């Protein structure tokens, strides 16, 4: 009986591994609002805060130094939920799923939707406001 349970767990692990390695990531055009958000999120997850900060709007209260307070962002999966594009503004909604734990039965996840507001500038689309994973920005924040 124990051999059957262990064998089943091995098969389940193999299926999960196969699905996770064959899942492809959609690549959005970086000149679009969706592509700008994708580039920003990728930079944040990779810890390239200079790149992420470069995608913020010039009038943003957030600066690259604000990213130093967030620590590392790992075990997250970000999915595009919706995008609404006007002439010079856009709203891109993403679902951020954070995982914790390391076993097949010791894993928990939670998902939050976050809205990115973007404005078109001479540099392409730039992110306005205080975007995920930042919750506060500015010189007075420590």
pLDDT range class, residue 1, cuts 50, 70, 90:
low
Burial class (CB in 10 A: 0-12, 13-18, 19+), 7: exposed
Domains of the chain: 24-128 (3.10.450.50)
The neighbour count for residue 29, using CB atoms within 10 Å, is 10
* pLDDT tens-place string over residues 84-125: 999 999 999 999 998 877 777 777 888 999 999 999 998 899
């Amino acid at each position: 009986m124990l051999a059957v349970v262990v064998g089943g767990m091995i098969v389940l692990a193999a299926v999960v591994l196969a699905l996770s390695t064959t899942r492809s990531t959609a690549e959005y055009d970086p000149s679009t609002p969706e592509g700008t958000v994708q580039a920003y999120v990728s930079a944040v997850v990779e810890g390239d805060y200079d790149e992420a900060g470069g995608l913020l709007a010039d009038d943003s209260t957030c600066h690259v130094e604000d990213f130093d307070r967030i620590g590392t962002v790992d075990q997250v999966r970000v999915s595009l939920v919706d995008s609404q594009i006007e002439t010079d503004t856009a709203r891109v909604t993403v679902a951020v799923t954070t995982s914790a734990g390391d076993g097949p039965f010791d894993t928990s996840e939670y998902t939050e939707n976050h809205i990115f507001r973007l404005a078109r500038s001479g540099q392409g689309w730039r992110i306005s406001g205080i975007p995920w994973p930042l919750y506060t920005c500015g010189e007075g924040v420590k």
